[in-house]
């Protein structure tokens, strides 16, 4: 069976050969809990008055890093990762620790959210991460915090981590944030805002990216008793309500679901995703709409009492499309791989910000797709994939979970596709290889270390 990246006692293969799929993929899949919702809920529960019980929690490197970061701030968490639950005793808006060094590893959400949470405390806090994290800009968030009176410094060139913060109890007020690099800057500020004495008015400057993630942040804030009022897409006003502990169920991860519905689209099969519907707070359910434009059939079953709903994607993605993926940018690599098997080119636009993800998800993606034999044109804000005669290749993943999970899908149709550093999927989906093998009925030798 494939390696389990989350199990440190198991050998980690340097690369894995993806076996071609013996038949069109036909499966029902319930993805693990949403990483994005899990990390937002952990922050709200950690800052709340009283206790919270989170269920459906994702067990991954990113979520464990967030939990460890909150614990470093003195917040009590009792995770049961195998059961997907975390009990949290909230700090009522003031992190108890007066000093903390937080290792954010490769988790951008942890770096950005906790950089906004630390000023609520009284003390000195330092947030650092991997070498790549030290290349990911955070200067816009530091500037927004400075406008609120926070002493914060991004120490690496270009306004990148480590971040050093001297917290004196964030009071709130009015600030501006540029939204063109990451929606997580505004989300971090908004998550902290209900715990400030004055509340917060956040004014957005420039173009905004990944708008559905901002809407997600508002919904999670409100689920824990906060109040966030949006004036169009340019101003948020967050009241100083604090948060109240509660039981909170986390829905399956729509970004993780994209790999399985793409497997159906690439092989001409049918995959039903349980627990996701049009009612989901995750914008990445819109990936199914992109597949429908490419020729697949998409059937939505809306939630009812006792049924969380589902979406089924069937048939082949037979034609290329021109698409603005700004709102669903985490699924760009997945759609790009799917486009390899369509008739005609696919143009992906308005995603320049994904160059600052775990890797440059435009330039590096272009490089790997070309190895497979496709003609791929790189643009400042996207790429165009022109299908061709595909061939075997060994594909680099750049320590990027989404690159690994997406590029592997090419191997379902193309013999000889090898994925390097498969353990990097542990960032958000530790048992991805097992789940893919089960859904696609792959060779049981899949995942042998080499």
239 Cβ contact partners less than 8 Å away, ≥ 6 residues apart: 194, 199, 226, 227, 228, 229
**Treating both helix axes as pointing N-terminal to C-terminal, what angle do 254-267 and 332-339 enclose, rounded to 10 degrees?**
0
- Known active-site residue 330: yes
Distance CA 36, CA 41 (A): 9
Q: Comparing C-alpha atoms, which of 236, 204, 197, 203 is closest to residue 219?
A: 236
Beta strands 310-314; 297-301: pairing state: antiparallel
Compute CA distances 257 → 38, 276, 292, whole Å: 16, 9, 15
In the set 330, 399, 400, 421, the catalytic residue is: 330
Q: Are 23 and 441 in contact (CB under 8 A)?
A: yes
Q: Comparing C-alpha atoms, which of 436, 447, 403, 401 is closest to residue 61?
A: 401
196 Cβ contact partners less than 8 Å away, ≥ 6 residues apart: 120, 170, 171, 172, 173, 240
Q: Enumerate the active-site residues.
A: 330
């Amino acid at each position: 069976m494939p390696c389990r990246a989350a199990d440190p006692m198991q050998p980690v293969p340097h690369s894995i050969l993806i076996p071609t799929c013996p038949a069109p993929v036909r499966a029902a899949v319930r993805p693990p809990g949403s990483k994005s919702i899990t990390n937002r809920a952990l922050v709200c529960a950690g800052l709340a008055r009283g206790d919270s019980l989170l269920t459906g929690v994702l067990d991954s490197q990113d979520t464990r890093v967030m939990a460890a970061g909150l614990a470093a701030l003195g917040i009590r968490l009792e995770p049961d990762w195998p059961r997907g639950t975390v009990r949290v005793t909230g700090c009522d808006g003031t992190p108890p620790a007066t000093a903390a060094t937080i290792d954010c590893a490769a988790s951008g959400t942890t770096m950005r959210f906790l950089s906004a949470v630390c000023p609520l405390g009284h003390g000195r806090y330092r947030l650092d991460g991997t070498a790549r994290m030290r290349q990911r800009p955070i200067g816009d968030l530091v500037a927004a915090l400075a406008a609120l009176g926070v002493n914060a410094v991004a120490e690496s060139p270009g306004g990148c981590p480590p971040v050093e913060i001297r917290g004196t109890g964030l009071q709130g007020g009015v600030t501006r944030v540029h939204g063109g690099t990451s929606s997580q800057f505004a989300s971090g500020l908004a998550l902290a805002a209900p715990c400030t004495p004055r509340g917060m008015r956040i004014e957005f400057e420039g173009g905004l990216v990944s708008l559905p993630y901002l809407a997600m942040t508002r919904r999670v804030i409100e689920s824990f008793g906060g109040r966030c009022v949006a004036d169009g897409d340019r101003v948020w006003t967050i009241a100083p309500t604090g948060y109240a502990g509660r039981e909170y169920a986390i829905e399956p991860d729509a970004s993780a679901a994209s790999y399985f519905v793409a497997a159906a689209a690439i092989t001409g099969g049918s995959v039903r995703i349980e627990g996701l519907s049009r009612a989901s707070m995750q914008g990445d359910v819109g990936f199914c709409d992109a597949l429908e434009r490419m020729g697949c059939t998409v059937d939505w079953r809306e939630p009812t009492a006792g049924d969380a709903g589902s979406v089924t994607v069937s048939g082949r993605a037979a034609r290329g499309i021109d698409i603005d993926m700004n709102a669903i940018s985490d699924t760009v690599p997945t759609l790009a791989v799917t486009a390899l098997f369509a008739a005609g080119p696919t143009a992906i636009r308005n995603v320049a910000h994904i160059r600052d993800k775990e890797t440059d998800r435009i330039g590096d993606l272009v490089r790997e797709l070309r190895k497979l034999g496709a003609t791929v044109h790189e643009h400042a804000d996207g790429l165009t994939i022109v299908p061709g005669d595909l061939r075997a290749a060994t594909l680099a993943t750049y320590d990027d979970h989404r690159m690994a999970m997406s590029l592997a899908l090419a191997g379902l149709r193309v013999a000889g596709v090898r994925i390097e550093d498969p353990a990097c999927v542990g960032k958000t989906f530790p048992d991805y290889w097992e789940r893919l093998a089960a859904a696609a009925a792959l060779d049981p030798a899949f995942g042998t270390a080499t």
